[in-house]
Amino acid sequence: MLKKTPLAAEHEKLGARMVDFAGWWMPVQYKGLREEHDNVRHHVGLFDVSHMGEVRVKGPKALETLQWLTTNDVAKLQDGEAQYSLLPNERGGLVDDIIVYCLKRDADYLVCVNASNKDKDFAWMVRNNKGADISDESDQWGQIAVQGPKALALCDRVFGFKVSEMKPFHIHSGEFQGHKIMVATTGYTGEKGCEVFVQAAGTVALWTELLRQGADLGVMAIGLGARDTLRTEMKYSLYGHEIDDGTNPYEAGLGWVIKAQAKDFLGKAPILQVKEAGLKRKLVGFKMLDKGIPRQGYSLFSFDNQEIGKVTSGTHSPSLDAPIGIAYVNSELAKDGTELLVDIRGRKVKAQICPTPFWNRSGS
């Protein structure tokens, strides 16, 4: 049986095309991927991300536990602050990428984990606990992402405080129609906006109100299809694509969340060993020079027919109206401007490594 978010019936009412996503019955698109993608870039979109997992870490040992479990420096977080981080394994690979929200310094943290990894992450955190109270609160929360240039204007209307005045990567608690909410200025699209944790029973009411009050702002429900094209344009990593249990974070360009000088943490030694030995591969973005759309798993070749890497994600970018991809390539070739070949179903076509993110607000 597929699991359903509190909004499953609402998606069906809107005519969404529903699919099995990591064991959840989720909307892949409503009106069409291109229209939904463009709406987030130009107006405001709502995403049901209630399938994401929420793990609460509390008590006197909460900070010590999270410092050991994660690569970033949780000790830097003050009340209401958040940080992107990683859960490393003992081999130096990645259990997941996460966001840690500090609700009360040293005592109460919320960890948002990927839907497909929720049970694995929770078990891993419990197994490596340093004495914190760790609980899986995923069933207690719905989660709605509000993203786009008009997202904060919509949030200011709906919530009883100025979301537009919050700094990025902050979280603020409140209420909506008697239901507890936490509004976090985080997201996965490259746009302004927030992700709203709402008590599960209030999820439908909040979704409905956001659609109602956002009508004149061009609000639109957005499916998983556009969520993926939006994050690919930003070169944001997706677990199971750019990162997995065997990925070294430095290879993935995530060295900025490795705070090796600040603390000890699980997997620290093997993570650093790979870096110190010299990275054999690096994650890059590339654009197609010939026709064809790259897809995950496609091989990359040099012009002397040596295999030099693998595609991790690829799509036709609606914002650029061009095919783009993300891939691991041999480090010596991982330079902007390097041309290579993508094997698309037996046909080798030209591509070129390019700066990322592929898209930004200025259009450059």
Looking at the fold, whether 301 and 187 belong to one and the same domain comes out as no
Looking at the fold, whether 284 and 228 belong to one and the same domain comes out as no
Domain containing residue 202: CATH number: 3.30.1360.120
Q: pTM of the full predicted structure? A: 0.97
Domain containing residue 318: CATH number: 2.40.30.110
Looking at the fold, whether 227 and 154 belong to one and the same domain comes out as yes
Among the listed residues 13, 110, 107, 92, the one whose alpha carbon sits nearest the alpha carbon of residue 52: 110
Looking at the fold, whether 16 and 163 belong to one and the same domain comes out as yes
- Average pLDDT on 40-48 reads 98
In a domain, 31, yes or no: yes
- Average pLDDT on 92-114 reads 98
Looking at the fold, whether 156 and 300 belong to one and the same domain comes out as no
Among the listed residues 297, 333, 292, 332, the one whose alpha carbon sits nearest the alpha carbon of residue 316: 292
Mean pLDDT of the chain: 97
Residue-wise over 192-226: b if at least 16 C-beta within 10 A, else e? bbbbbbbbbebbeebbebbbeebeebebbbbbbbb
Looking at the fold, whether 225 and 157 belong to one and the same domain comes out as yes
In a domain, 64, yes or no: no
Q: Residues near 155 by Cβ (< 8 Å), separated by ≥ 6?
A: 146, 163, 164, 183, 193, 194, 196
Name the band, by pLDDT with cuts 50, 70 and 90, for residue 317.
Answer: very high
In a domain, 86, yes or no: no
Looking at the fold, whether 205 and 315 belong to one and the same domain comes out as no
Looking at the fold, whether 157 and 27 belong to one and the same domain comes out as yes
Residue 361 is predicted with a pLDDT of 77
User: What are 174-225's pLDDT values in tens digits?
Assistant: 999 999 999 999 999 999 999 999 999 999 999 999 999 999 999 999 999 9
Where is the domain boundary, 196, 212, 233?
Answer: 233
Instruction: Measure the CA–CA gap between 239 and 188, rounded to whole angstroms.
Output: 13
Looking at the fold, whether 14 and 158 belong to one and the same domain comes out as yes
Looking at the fold, whether 148 and 207 belong to one and the same domain comes out as yes
Looking at the fold, whether 311 and 186 belong to one and the same domain comes out as no
Q: How many structural domains is the chain composed of? A: 2
- Average pLDDT on 134-152 reads 98
- Average pLDDT on 61-74 reads 98
In a domain, 75, yes or no: no
SS in 3 state form for 159-182?
CCCCHHHCCCCEEEEEEECCEEEE
**With 90 as the cut, is the pLDDT of residue 129 above it?**
yes
Q: What percent of the chain has pLDDT over 90?
A: 98
Domain holding 290, by residue range, is: 280-354
- The stretches of the chain forming alpha helices (DSSP H) are 8-13, 33-42, 62-69, 118-127, 151-158, 203-213, 224-233, 268-277
In a domain, 23, yes or no: yes
**What is the widest separation between alpha-carbon atoms in the chain?**
65
In a domain, 217, yes or no: yes
Residue 362 is predicted with a pLDDT of 67
Q: Residues near 262 by Cβ (< 8 Å), separated by ≥ 6?
A: 73, 75
Helix (H/G/I), strand (E/B), else coil: 327: strand
Residue 329 is predicted with a pLDDT of 98
Residue 363 is predicted with a pLDDT of 53
Instruction: Tell me the residue type at 79.
Output: D
Residue 364 is predicted with a pLDDT of 42
Where is the domain boundary, 209, 233, 257?
Answer: 233
Looking at the fold, whether 209 and 312 belong to one and the same domain comes out as no
What are the tokens at 1? 């049986």
In a domain, 314, yes or no: yes
In a domain, 40, yes or no: yes
Q: 123 to each of 118, 130, 135, how far by Cα in Å?
A: 9, 14, 10
Where is the domain boundary, 177, 205, 233?
Answer: 233
